[in-house]
């Protein structure tokens, strides 16, 4: 039999040997999930033995992590904006940097808490839209994704976080997913679209390249394909005072600014992430 402490040490050592960046944290999260205990209980009671089903679960988790599956995927959940989001094989694993996009939208919206109409293009797990609707209690939201599997997870997350009745999930490609009647209706169009180049895809960590869905990552030779389509359609769907907010890949601010200007939009601002990359751009009429 294994105790919590011996199981943890064994996982930590295997992860270290594989040079996983967060070996200690991953081992702790996996141990606590498999042993069904809190981190505090693990610290205070390290000698409790794992039951045999717990040990089996633990060994499966360790094996999957050694095959480079991210901990959030094997536990089926990622925290974003302080909320747990269910993940599925068709959803991107939300990144902490994307919270900068949520912050930028909220700042641009300001104190207005009226009947805002928010569109999230490429909603994935729904994390951006749901975070916004939680903050903007009178807003309505539409989430679009080309992946039906992702939309199912997004709808479950919206229900789970109490915004299901203000959310409409629509399958399809960008604006093609929307009815004619939604033209000029959106006060905010937000998107974290795919923005990785085909070349960059080859250099991604296995945690990303093997487990995030390719449709969530790659956007053509220069990584700008999705921005082009969305910027081109945005004027038709934005309300008179509406704005467009994008997450950007590193180094894409100037190119996306130029695409926006060419389509008659003004750059309203940008935001850096914690690493100092221009991570967000805001565009408006």
Ligand X SMILES: C[S@@+](CC[C@H](N)C(=O)[O-])C[C@H]1O[C@@H](n2cnc3c(N)ncnc32)[C@H](O)[C@@H]1O
Site residues (vs ligand X, CB under 6 A): 92, 94, 98, 122-125, 127-128, 144-147, 150, 173-174, 192-194, 215-216
Of 104 and 216, which has the nearer Cβ to ligand X?
216
Of 52 and 173, which has the nearer Cβ to ligand X?
173
Task: Kindly provide the residue ranges of all beta strands, DSSP E only, lying in the chain, ordered along the sequence.
Answer: 77-80, 83-86, 117-121, 140-145, 167-171, 186-191, 238-247, 266-272, 278-284
Residue 87 CB, shortest distance to ligand X, in Å, is: 9
Residue 95 CB, shortest distance to ligand X, in Å, is: 7
Of 14 and 168, which has the nearer Cβ to ligand X?
168
Q: Record the tokens describing residue 238, joined without a space.
A: 């934005």
CA 216 to chain centre: 10
CA distance 109 to 45: 48
Residue 113 CB, shortest distance to ligand X, in Å, is: 23
Of 26 and 93, which has the nearer Cβ to ligand X?
93
Residue 75 CB, shortest distance to ligand X, in Å, is: 17
Positive/negative CA dihedral, 248, 253, 257, 258: negative
CA distance 248 to 192: 7
CA distance 155 to 263: 32
CA distance 162 to 92: 22
Of 58 and 243, which has the nearer Cβ to ligand X?
243
Of 194 and 223, which has the nearer Cβ to ligand X?
194
CA distance 81 to 103: 10
Residue 47 CB, shortest distance to ligand X, in Å, is: 40
Task: Report the chain's C-alpha Rg in angstroms.
Answer: 21
Residue 97 CB, shortest distance to ligand X, in Å, is: 9
């Amino acid at each position: 039999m294994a105790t919590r402490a011996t199981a943890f040490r064994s996982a930590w050592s295997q992860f270290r040997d594989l040079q996983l960046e967060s070996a200690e944290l991953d081992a702790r999260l996996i141990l606590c999930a498999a042993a069904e205990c809190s981190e505090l209980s693990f610290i205070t009671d390290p000698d409790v033995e794992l039951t045999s089903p717990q040990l089996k679960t633990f060994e499966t988790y360790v094996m999957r992590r050694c095959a480079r599956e991210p901990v959030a995927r094997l536990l089926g959940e990622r925290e974003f904006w302080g909320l747990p989001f269910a993940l599925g094989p068709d959803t991107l694993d939300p990144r902490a940097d994307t919270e900068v996009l949520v912050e930028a939208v909220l700042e641009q919206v300001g104190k207005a808490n009226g009947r805002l109409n928010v569109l999230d293009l490429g909603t994935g797990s729904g994390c951006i839209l749901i975070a916004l609707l939680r903050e903007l209690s009178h807003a309505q939201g539409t989430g679009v994704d080309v992946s039906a599997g992702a939309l199912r997870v997004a709808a479950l997350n919206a229900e789970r976080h109490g915004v299901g009745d203000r959310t409409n999930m629509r399958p399809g490609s960008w604006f093609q997913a929307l009815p004619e009647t939604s033209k000029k209706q959106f006060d905010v169009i937000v998107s974290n679209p795919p923005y990785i180049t085909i070349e960059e895809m080859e250099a991604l960590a296995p945690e990303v390249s093997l487990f995030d869905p390719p449709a969530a990552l790659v956007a053509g030779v220069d990584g700008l394909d999705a921005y082009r389509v969305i910027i081109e359609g945005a004027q038709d769907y934005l309300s008179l005072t509406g704005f467009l907010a994008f997450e950007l890949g590193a180094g894409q601010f100037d190119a996306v600014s130029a695409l926006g200007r060419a389509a008659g939009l003004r750059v309203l601002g940008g935001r850096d992430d914690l690493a100092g990359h221009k991570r967000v751009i805001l565009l408006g009429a």
